[in-house]
Amino acid sequence: MMFTPMLSISSSIFTMTAMSFERVLAIIKNVHLREIHHKVIIISIVWALSVISAGPQIYEYSTYLKFEEEENKTEISCGSHGIEENFETIYASILVFVGYVLPLVIISCNYGLIIRFLWNFSKSEGRDGPGSEVKGAVFKARVRVAKMIFTATALFAILWLPFFVFFTMEEVTGTDDSSEIGSTLQTLKQALIVISTFSNPIVYACYQKKFRSGIISLLSGKTFRGQRVEDTSTMSTAVS
């Protein structure tokens, strides 16, 4: 029941983590992973880790007959049934660490390195003297990137935390059964998945004009005519 949603969630989180590494390379090291084989390798790793993270859901969930005393009937249900004791608790603990705590630490460290680099670079270059106008514009671009990075990290921490709290509660209490669909907890959890997944594109659209223009062009069916969306993961133009 939860394999596909958990696969999507894991791939989304691991993609954000991979992007944080790519941004470090692009902004600090000025290295751009534009070759197709680089992208194939990264995408393959992301999906492999996602399948491994969501895989136990296939073992955990199964269909079984459940008797409803209130309605005096038996119905087919899907949930954690007939599995080893403590499996759900152990799996939930591992998934919270691998899918939330570790990615949050990695993303925070990588973005912290970028912010420190932008700050040190701005101090060493200065904004006075020859070309001060250009330096001022570049400085503003760097500040915008730093704000975007901080916002993306904060949203990741804030929006995904309730989901993993609810997920752990369901795993431990056994309220992740298909009969619980439509409950307040299930509804909140599903809403958080949608909000968390869509948070990053919204942040990029708020801070990057070219990203907004690219999305509008894509949705309207217009061609880019040689223009490309400013990839927020390759912001070297703001630091070179």
- Dump pLDDT digits (tens) for 86-143: 888 888 899 999 999 999 999 999 988 988 888 887 777 655 555 566 666 766 776 7
Give CA separation, 45 vs 18, 49, 148, 239, in Å.
Answer: 9, 6, 26, 29
Rounded (10°) CA dihedral 59, 65, 70, 72: 180
Whether the pTM exceeds 0.85: the reply is no
Quote the pLDDT of residue 94: 92
Backbone angles phi, psi at 228, to 5 degrees: -130, 150
The tally of domains found in the chain comes to 1
Backbone angles phi, psi at 80, to 5 degrees: -80, 105
Rounded (10°) CA dihedral 217, 222, 226, 231: 20
More confident residue, 205 or 176: 205
Q: What residue numbers bound the domain in which 106 lies? A: 3-238
Per-residue pLDDT tens over the stretch 14-50: 988 998 888 888 888 877 777 788 889 999 999 999 9
Domain of residue 70, CATH code: 1.20.1070.10
Per-residue pLDDT tens over the stretch 53-68: 988 888 777 666 665 6
pLDDT value at 226 more than 50: no
Quote the pLDDT of residue 105: 94
pLDDT value at 218 more than 50: yes
Backbone angles phi, psi at 25, to 5 degrees: -65, -45
Per-residue pLDDT tens over the stretch 174-197: 666 555 555 676 677 777 777 877
Quote the pLDDT of residue 146: 73
More confident residue, 232 or 146: 146
Q: Which residue has the tokens 């309730």?
A: 162
Find the mean pLDDT for residues 148-177: 79
H helix runs in 175-208, sequence order: 184-207
Beta strand extents in the chain (DSSP E only): 61-68, 73-80
Find the mean pLDDT for residues 138-156: 77
Please give the radius of gyration of the chain, using alpha carbons only, rounded to the nearest integer: 22
pLDDT value at 238 more than 60: no
